[in-house]
């Protein structure tokens, strides 16, 4: 198939899933065309069958901000015309599903192949952004106008049906990881780079937005390090990072926190960690948690979110209601203080992740869905 993919190119779950999917599809012989304003974050090396089409963002004094939505739609139509796309797969409803609809309108007079539009919902496009009253109608319209819609968890599909009163089927295709890269022992980095002998390494990866509850991460870690020697490894960047640093200073934790910023290859670092913290307010899936599990790192996170579909509570991690940092820290300590249990959780984490979410299980689900949408005419 010839597949167009549009996503946000910056570090963030939806862009990462789109990029990994494009790479996997290209490996499986499809021709994949990325259309975005910058080269996606993890698309950092040449690969056969993979192409990139940049979108210009032209500024003009009259525009409050450059109308990216319009230039993106025009570029989508252009790529569809030139490469005869079978499918245009957009990740994140706003504005990508709307742009795809516009592109389709631009292609109305085109005699060649008309691409099918598939929208994948990732989470904040529905739970936060999409349900903002000013985005509600446009999001609902764009989902309904897509030829096919997928969501990364049942939790998100249900939420979309509820909030947007969508009647069409939303296919659940969970996120996935490349088992040849995300595994417990890669030999790429060693614990000694982060911790002294006898210390534990607690990791957190996010875009440091309020929804991630960075303060809870620090609070859980603080409680842990008061009981056992430990260091906190922070990966990613975002608006709450400055406040987080202040909090770390205030609690006198400076010497115990290591910050690496955005890393395009977290699989090199994650296997060094003992535990992963994801106490988010909202999480449609929790890709970073899955990548941690795949590297053999148990997860402490929040129940009542899509994490319940990823983390097996009591088996490869523990889930608690949002904000319950005390029991989260106690659960972490329960593992760190029991070497046999920690080893069991680590082994189970990697095994469960591989059995349920490896690329060879999930990517064919996307291929099959593309085919179903194409066959539907
Ligand atoms: O987590 C974020 O805020 C980034 C966001 C995105 O779209 O880039 O992530 C969402 O999509 C990821 C990939 O499907 C999911 O794993 C995350 O759970 C989801 N984030 C939220 O729901 C908060």
Strand-pair category, 50-54 with 87-91: unpaired
Q: How crowded is residue 45: how many other Cβ atoms within 10 Å of its Cβ?
A: 7
**What CA–CA distance (Å, rounded) separates 215 from 296?**
25
Instruction: Check if 312 has its Cβ closer than 6 Å to any atom of ligand 1.
Output: no
Atom 13 (ligand 1): residue with closest C-alpha?
Answer: 13
CA 13 to centroid of ligand 1, rounded, Å: 5
Percent with pLDDT over 70 in the chain? 100
Residue 61 burial (C-beta neighbours within 10 Å; 0-12, 13-18, 19+):
exposed
The pLDDT value given to residue 72: 97
Atom 17 (ligand 1): residue with closest C-alpha?
Answer: 286
Q: Among 123, 153, 236, 285, which residue has the most ligand 1 atoms within 8 Å of its CB, making it the best to mutate?
A: 123
In the sheet that holds 257-261, the strands lie side by side as 257-261, 230-235, 200-205, 275-278, 299-302, 317-320
Q: Whole-model pTM?
A: 0.96
Asked if pLDDT for residue 131 goes beyond 80, the answer is no
The pLDDT-based confidence of 89 (bands split at 50, 70, 90) is: very high
Asked if pLDDT for residue 128 goes beyond 80, the answer is no
Instruction: Check if 13 has its Cβ closer than 6 Å to any atom of ligand 1.
Output: yes
CA 55 to centroid of ligand 1, rounded, Å: 23
Atom 1 (ligand 1): residue with closest C-alpha?
Answer: 13
The number of the ligand 1 atom at minimal distance from the alpha carbon of 206 is 1
CA 174 to centroid of ligand 1, rounded, Å: 12
The pLDDT value given to residue 45: 83
The number of the ligand 1 atom at minimal distance from the alpha carbon of 16 is 13
DSSP 65: S
Instruction: Check if 123 has its Cβ closer than 6 Å to any atom of ligand 1.
Output: yes
Asked if pLDDT for residue 11 goes beyond 90, the answer is no
The pLDDT-based confidence of 277 (bands split at 50, 70, 90) is: very high
CA 257 to centroid of ligand 1, rounded, Å: 24
pLDDT digits (tens, 9 = 90+) for 35-81: 999 999 888 889 999 999 999 988 888 888 888 999 999 999 999 99
For residue 320, give the H/E element and its range: strand 317-320
Q: Among 91, 93, 124, which residue has the most ligand 1 atoms within 8 Å of its CB, making it the best to mutate?
A: 124
Residues of the chain with CATH 3.40.50.2000: 2-176+358-375, 191-357
The pLDDT value given to residue 325: 98
User: Mean pLDDT over all residues of the chain?
Assistant: 95
The pLDDT value given to residue 6: 98
Q: Which fold has domain 191-357?
A: Rossmann fold (3.40.50)
The pLDDT value given to residue 44: 80
**Who contacts 210 (Cβ-Cβ below 8 Å, separation ≥6)?**
239, 240, 281
Q: What is the dihedral of CA 99, 34, 127, 279, to 10 degrees?
A: -160
**What CA–CA distance (Å, rounded) separates 189 from 265?**
12
CATH class held by domain 2-176+358-375: alpha beta
The pLDDT-based confidence of 228 (bands split at 50, 70, 90) is: very high
Percent with pLDDT over 90 in the chain? 89
Instruction: Check if 286 has its Cβ closer than 6 Å to any atom of ligand 1.
Output: yes
CA 279 to centroid of ligand 1, rounded, Å: 14
**What CA–CA distance (Å, rounded) separates 295 from 182?**
5
Region 263-271 average pLDDT = 94
pLDDT digits (tens, 9 = 90+) for 290-342: 999 999 999 999 999 999 999 999 999 999 999 999 999 999 999 999 999 99
pLDDT digits (tens, 9 = 90+) for 135-156: 999 999 999 999 999 999 999 9
Instruction: Check if 211 has its Cβ closer than 6 Å to any atom of ligand 1.
Output: yes
Instruction: Check if 284 has its Cβ closer than 6 Å to any atom of ligand 1.
Output: yes
pLDDT digits (tens, 9 = 90+) for 151-174: 999 999 999 999 999 999 999 999
The pLDDT value given to residue 377: 82
The pLDDT value given to residue 127: 80
Instruction: Check if 287 has its Cβ closer than 6 Å to any atom of ligand 1.
Output: yes
């Amino acid at each position: 198939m010839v597949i167009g993919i549009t996503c946000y190119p910056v570090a963030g779950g939806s862009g990462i899933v789109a990029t990994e999917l494009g790479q996997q599809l290209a490996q499986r012989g499809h021709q994949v065309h990325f259309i975005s304003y910058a080269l996606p974050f993890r698309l950092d090396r040449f690969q056969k069958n993979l192409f990139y089409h940049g979108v210009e963002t032209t500024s003009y004094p009259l525009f409050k901000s450059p109308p990216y939505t319009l230039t993106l739609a025009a570029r989508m139509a252009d790529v569809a015309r030139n490469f005869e796309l079978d499918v245009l797969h957009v990740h994140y409803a706003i504005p990508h599903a709307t742009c795809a609809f516009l592109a389709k309108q631009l292609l109305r007079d085109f005699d060649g192949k008309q691409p099918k539009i598939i929208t994948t919902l990732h989470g904040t496009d529905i739970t936060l952004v999409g349900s903002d009253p000013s985005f509600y109608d446009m999001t609902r319209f764009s989902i309904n106008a897509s030829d096919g819609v997928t969501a990364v968890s049942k939790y998100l599909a249900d939420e979309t049906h509820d909030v947007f009163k969508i009647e069409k089927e939303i296919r659940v295709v969970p996120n996935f990881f490349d088992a040849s890269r995300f595994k417990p022992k890669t030999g790429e980095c060693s614990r000694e780079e982060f911790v002294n002998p006898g210390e534990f390494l607690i990791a957190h990866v996010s875009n440091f937005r309020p929804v991630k509850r960075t303060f809870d991460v620090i609070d859980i870690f603080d409680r842990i390090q008061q009981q056992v020697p430990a260091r906190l490894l922070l990966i990613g960047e975002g608006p709450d990072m400055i406040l987080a640093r202040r909090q770390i200073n205030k609690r006198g934790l400076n010497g115990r926190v290591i910050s690496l910023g955005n890393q395009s290859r977290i699989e090199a670092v994650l296997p060094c960690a003992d535990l992963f913290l994801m106490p988010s307010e909202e999480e449609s899936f929790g890709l970073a948690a899955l990548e941690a599990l795949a590297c053999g790192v148990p997860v402490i996170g929040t129940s009542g979110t899509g994490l319940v579909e990823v983390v097996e509570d009591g088996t490869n991690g523990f889930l608690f209601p949002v904000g319950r940092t005390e029991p989260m820290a106690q659960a972490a300590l329960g593992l760190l203080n029991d070497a046999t249990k920690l080893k069991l959780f680590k082994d189970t984490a990697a095994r469960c992740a591989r059995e349920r979410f490896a690329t060879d299980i999930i990517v064919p689900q996307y291929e099959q869905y593309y085919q179903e949408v194409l066959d539907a005419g």
